[in-house]
């Protein structure tokens, strides 16, 4: 095992990094398998053993990282320091308590997945493009919020009388508005009155872009940043 520090002072564990990635993947799979309703007791025991093994490994990794990090506090209080800690903490906490009550904590095990992001290069370009269109993104999310609220108010007004069980309050309207504007359209709620339908048609045709434009903004910002990089490489 080779232990080095990268140029930002983060511990790199050489070949071990790969093993951790594999373990994180396996851990995600086993956590999914655990939720299957009809598992044989033997298979379930196998999953539990693997769980103990993986927590053991992650604990060891956390200890090594903490030991070699300079300064130590920089790692402990960094984003990935917290993720690494939260990936193992729920297991130890659940030892002393009733398992069912603490089940909610186990959800934090999914934080382990975030560790994978450490291993992927090139996130920089994506971060840059987000920064480039930050203001427009904010504006569109803000506009989305307003459009969704207006839609929710409108549909509650038009449909509450006709479908009191479906549109019980404005909050049901918000759920419907989000499902409609993102074009998911589950079909659990939809307008049935003439006024409600006309309202929906007008809003859909004019307001659909409010949710869809941000996607286009990010993708065009990404291509621009890639172009700029290429031009700099060619001229530099």
Residues 164-193 that bind its own copies (CB under 8 A): 168-171, 174-175, 178-180, 182-188, 190
Smaller CB separation from its own copies, 90 or 154: 154
Smaller CB separation from its own copies, 66 or 174: 174
Tell me: does residue 26 bind its own copies (CB under 8 A).
no
Nearest to 107 by CA among 90, 120, 124, 92: 90
Tell me: does residue 120 bind its own copies (CB under 8 A).
yes
Q: How far apart are CA 83 and CA 80, in angstroms?
A: 5
**55-114 residues near its own copies, rule: CB under 8 A:** 104, 107, 110, 113-114
Q: Which part of the chain contacts its own copies (CB under 8 A), choosing from 6-14, 49-57, 68-76, 138-146?
A: 138-146
Please report which residue ranges of 77-193 form alpha helices under DSSP H.
Answer: 79-96, 103-106, 123-132, 134-159, 170-181
Q: Which part of the chain contacts its own copies (CB under 8 A), choosing from 43-51, 77-85, 91-99, 117-125?
A: 117-125
| Closest distance to its own copies from the beta carbon of 50 (Å) | 16
Tell me: does residue 17 bind its own copies (CB under 8 A).
no
Residues 6+ apart with CB under 8 A from 227: none
Among 160, 166, 193, 195, interactor with its own copies by CB under 8 A: 160
Q: How far apart are CA 7 and CA 76, in angstroms?
A: 18
Kindly give the interhelix angle for 170-181 and 134-159, rounded to the nearest 10 degrees. 130
Q: How far apart are CA 13 and CA 65, in angstroms?
A: 8
Smaller CB separation from its own copies, 65 or 112: 112
Q: How far apart are CA 99 and CA 135, in angstroms?
A: 45
Q: Which part of the chain contacts its own copies (CB under 8 A), choosing from 43-51, 55-63, 75-83, 218-226?
A: 218-226
Length of the chain as a residue count: 236
């Amino acid at each position: 095992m080779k232990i080095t520090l990268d140029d930002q002072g983060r511990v790199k564990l050489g070949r071990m990094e790969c093993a951790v990635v594999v373990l994180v993947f396996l851990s995600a799979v086993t956590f999914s398998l655990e939720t299957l309703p009809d598992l044989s007791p033997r298979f379930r025991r196998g999953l539990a053993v693997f769980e103990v093994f993986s927590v053991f490994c992650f604990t060891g990794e956390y200890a090594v990282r903490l030991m070699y990090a300079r300064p130590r506090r920089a790692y402990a209080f960094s984003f990935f320091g917290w993720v690494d800690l939260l990936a193992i903490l729920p297991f130890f906490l659940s030892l002393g308590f009733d398992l069912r009550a603490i089940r909610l904590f186990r959800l934090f095990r999914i934080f382990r997945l975030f560790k994978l992001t450490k291993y992927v290069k090139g996130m920089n370009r994506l971060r840059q493009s987000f920064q480039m269109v930050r203001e427009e993104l904010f504006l569109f999310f803000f506009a989305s919020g307003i459009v969704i609220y207006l839609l929710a108010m409108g549909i509650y007004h038009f449909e509450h009388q006709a479908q009191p069980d479906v549109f019980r309050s404005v909050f049901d309207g918000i759920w419907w508005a989000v499902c409609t504007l993102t074009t998911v359209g589950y079909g659990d709620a939809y307008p049935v009155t003439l006024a409600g339908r006309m309202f929906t048609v007008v809003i859909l045709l004019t307001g659909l872009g409010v949710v869809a434009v941000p996607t286009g903004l990010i993708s065009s910002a990404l291509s621009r940043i890639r172009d700029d990089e290429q031009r700099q490489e060619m001229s530099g």
